[in-house]
Amino acid sequence: MMPSHQDLAKIQWLRDQLHQYGYQYYVLDEPTIPDAEYDKLFVELQSLEKQFPQCLTLDSPTQRVGAPALLKFQTVTHEVPMLSLANAFDDQDILDFNQRLCDRLASSDFQYFAEPKLDGLAISLQYENGCLIRAATRGDGKTGENVTENIRTIAIIPLKLMGNNIPEKLEVRGEVFMPLQGFNEMNQKALKNAQKVFANPRNAAAGSLRQLDSKITANRPLSMFCYSIGQVSSGFLPDYHSDALALLKQWGLPVCPESSLAEDAQACLAFYQNILHKRDQLPYEIDGVVYKVNQFKTQEQLGFVSRAPRWAIAHKFPAQEALSKVIAIDVQVGRTGVLTPVARLESVLVGGVIVTNATLHNADEIKRKDVRVGDTVYVRRAGDVIPEIVRSLSEKRQQSLDEFTMPDECPVCGSEVEKIEGETSIRCTGGIMCQAQRKEAIKHFASRKALDIDGLGDKLVEQLVDLELIHNISDLYQLSIEQLKNLERMGEKSADNLIKSLKISKKTTLDRFIYSLGIREVGQATALSLANNLGNLDAIKHAELAVLEQIPDIGPVVASNIKKFFSKIENEQIVEQLIDSGLYWQNIEVKPIELLPLHGEIFVLTGGMETLKRDDAKRQLQELGAKVSGSVSKKTTCVVAGENAGSKLDKAEKLGVKVIDEQALIEIINVIQ
Ligand code: 9MJ
């Protein structure tokens, strides 16, 4: 059947709408219609295309689901070679680079553009009359592989450019990568289904793009940022790299929001420090930053050395992975009794920090990675988290090494271990009898977010328990200066200070107290919710399961953990002793949640705070009924932007969400309270 004019117009309209909504959702991260509404339009377009297959075009939003599998990738030639970058490893390298440019240009009158260096794969996208017609990997820079079908499945990459004045031919380059959240979720799913787990997001992105069956790629959470223009119809290239990126953005292509102009080499180094600090909060992995001379004319003047441009350099972060050797595998017992194998390593510098231990998570993980004592292993450190072993170089084993097995009794107290239902971990059944669990419980009690006992560090807790000066948290308040002053690394003054801190810690709040008890799966937010909804300790202790489950954020498992905790006689005694020692707090007049002044409001805190500690600000807002979220969306009521606020602030501004500073937040809290 031939489509009518009306059918044709409807198909075009649906495609335009879906392109627009897709752009708002994926590129701007700012959905404007509900998902169900989008799906409705999508299905309508699919059914029209089925009815009139002659109207199907490659740029249709329906054509992202993956094409039939290829036998192999075709080779493509890059008309303009895809360059690699020279590397710099410290500030001096950058100052030398800048000096070389100044000498060559006989001028220092030029600016840089600084960009995070994404850890993914370089890709070239070719658009003709605004339609994506080819995508290729960088390969060796001259020839790469045609991965068009795979690239077409990546939702953030427009199949069709938007806006005006689009060149007939446009080749865009950038990095395809896998955002961390998607990477972690994908690996967790793979683990559950006993499938291959990727060692890092870069490998995951590469593995996903190398699939001959694009239906597999379609299920992988890939993303892209564009960072340069390759070939383009004449007359379209602006004078500056920064303007070129602005044009790409206008045409609907994703561009990294962290990039910015840098006046000179010093500004580049400041950019490096800023991004290095932000690195752990970015939703994707970067391995450094890139500085590029911003003016294209100056770039041309500088030219290339072999295959790298003279006008750009990658300033790499210290490596996050290094090789080491496993000396031993110990088993640690955590606060809730979970047994965690830990590899003791020959000390090695990873990302600027000396690493001697790495977690091995659980027995399954050791088996999967086939880590044995004596093996050479890759150690990886990301952000503040405990270093991990990425993989073992088992192929390099010189002699046969024993496989590791988890103990069937607790290595600390000798109690039996049990398998946790639905999990891969095993747990010591010793409870409060187990010295390791007791130590961890006391460390938790003293920690900053719990009772914040200044001067009671982990080492001291271990000493106190080992010397049997304390057995549980309530014994802390019976300690005397005499008992303390002769301990290792103590003295009269420190002992006196600790006694003072213990005294100060007695004045607390109900939610802090509940949190400090270390009830399984009762974190700060749950403790606060319990306090705000039940108001006093007795009500919490005696609450029925059904009552607990009605409280926001508390499900059946947590409710049962709370009930079990308070039903144990030894816990009841400890709580009583703590109160007898003088711990006190103000009970809370329980107001229905709906009546709290900030009920329904969603705050996001970003950047450094000067007066308030971030945790305190969060608590105070939650007490007033607000939700405190970690990410900005259209639903956010207000973003509190402190010093060096980054992408969250940018996003708030883009979405038109109200932004206030710390002083304004303090005023709000003071006025309402
Ligand atoms: C990355 N990987 O993020 C370049 N890159 O420019 C950025 N790579 C590059 N630019 C020219 N931001 C060649 C490579």
Using the mean position of ligand 1's atoms as its centre, give its distance from the Cα of residue 51 in Å.
44
Q: What is the pLDDT averaged over residues 591-613?
A: 82
CATH number of 431-505: 1.10.150.20
**Tell me, which fold does domain 321-396 have in CATH?**
OB fold (Dihydrolipoamide Acetyltransferase, E2P) (2.40.50)
Which atom of ligand 1 is nearest the CA belonging to 122?
Answer: 2
Residue type at 473? Answer: I
* SS3 call for 254: coil
Instruction: Say how far apart CA 341 and CA 337 lie, in whole Å.
Output: 13
d(CA 329, CA 540): 41
Nearest CA to ligand 1 atom 5: 117
C-alpha 245 – ligand 1 centre gap (Å): 12
Question: What's the CA-to-centroid distance between 337 and ligand 1, angstroms?
Answer: 47
- Please say if the pLDDT value at position 174 is more than 90: yes
What would the CATH number be for the domain defined by 510-580?
A: 1.10.150.20
Contacts of 646 (CB under 8 A, 6+ apart): 258, 278, 281, 606, 607
Rounded CA separation 532/590 (Å) = 6
Give one word for 386, left, alpha or beta, with left for phi > 0 and alpha for psi -120 to 50: beta
Summarised one tens digit per residue, pLDDT across range 77-90 is: 999 999 889 889 89
pLDDT at 305: 82
Distance 670 CA to ligand 1 centre (A): 48
Beta-carbon contacts of 54 under 8 Å, excluding residues fewer than 6 positions away, are: 3
Q: Which atom of ligand 1 is nearest to the CA of 225?
A: 3
Ligand 1 proximal residues by C-beta, below 6 Å: 83, 85, 115, 117-118, 175, 227-228, 290, 312
Domain with CATH 2.40.50.140 in the chain: 321-396
Q: What is the pLDDT of residue 24?
A: 83
Q: Is 165 left (phi over 0), alpha (psi -120 to 50) or beta?
A: left
What are the residue numbers of the active site?
117
User: Which residue's CA is the nearest one to ligand 1's atom 7?
Assistant: 117
**Alpha carbon of 174 to ligand 1 centroid (Å):** 7
Q: Which candidate, 90, 97, 84, places its Cα nearest to that of 264?
A: 97
The DSSP code for 74 is P
- Centre of ligand 1 from the C-alpha of residue 115, in Å: 8
Q: Whose CA is nearest to atom 8 of ligand 1?
A: 117
Considering the four listed CATH numbers 3.20.20.150, 1.10.150.120, 1.10.287.610, 1.10.3720.10, the one that applies to the domain covering 5-64 is 1.10.287.610
Kindly report the CATH number that applies to the domain delimited by 86-316: 3.30.470.30
Best mutation site among 83, 117, 173, 286 for ligand 1, i.e. most ligand atoms within 8 A of its Cβ? Answer: 117
Pocket test for ligand 1, best of 82, 84, 85 (most atoms within 8 A of CB): 85
Question: Which ranges in the chain are annotated with CATH 1.10.287.610?
Answer: 5-64
Residue-wise pLDDT for 391-446, tens only, equals: 898 888 888 889 999 999 999 999 999 987 777 789 999 988 899 999 999 999 99
Cα 633 from Cα 622, distance rounded (Å): 18
CATH 3.40.50.10190 segments of the chain: 593-672
Is the pLDDT at 35 greater than 70, yes or no? Answer: yes
Top mutation candidate among 227, 286, 291 for ligand 1, by most atoms within 8 Å of CB:
227
Instruction: Please name the residue whose Cα sits nearest to atom 1 of ligand 1.
Output: 117
Question: What is the spatial distance between Cα 540 and Cα 514, in angstroms, rounded to a whole number?
Answer: 9
Total-model pTM = 0.63
The boundaries of every CATH 1.10.150.20 domain in the chain are 431-505, 510-580
Predicted pLDDT at 364 = 87
Which band of pLDDT confidence, cut at 50, 70 and 90, is reported for residue 214?
Answer: very high
Q: How far is C-alpha 164 from the chain's CA centre?
A: 36
3-class state of residue 652 by DSSP: helix
| 3 state SS of 159 | coil
Other beta carbons within 10 angstroms of residue 276's beta carbon come to 16
Q: State the Rg of the chain over Cα.
A: 29
Residue from 173, 228, 285 whose mutation best tests the ligand 1 pocket (most atoms within 8 A of CB): 228
Question: Given pLDDT bands bounded at 50, 70 and 90, which one contains residue 343?
Answer: very high
Element (H, E) at 592: none
Q: 384: pLDDT confidence band, cut at 50, 70 and 90?
A: low
> Using CA positions, which residue lies closest to atom 11 of ligand 1?
83
Whether pLDDT at 39 is above 90 = no
> What's the confidence (pLDDT) of residue 555?
82
What residues contact residue 334 under an 8 Å CB cut-off, 6+ apart? 340, 436, 437, 440
Q: Whose CA is nearest to atom 10 of ligand 1?
A: 227
pLDDT band at 179 (very low <50, low <70, confident <90, very high): very high
Residue-wise pLDDT tens digits, 231-288 = 999 999 999 999 999 999 999 999 999 999 999 999 999 999 999 999 988 999 999 9
Strand partners, 291: 114, 313
- Strands of 112-118's sheet in order across: 87-88, 312-316, 286-293, 112-118, 260-262
Separation of CA 124 and ligand 1 centre (Å) = 12
- Hey, what CATH class is 593-672 in? alpha beta
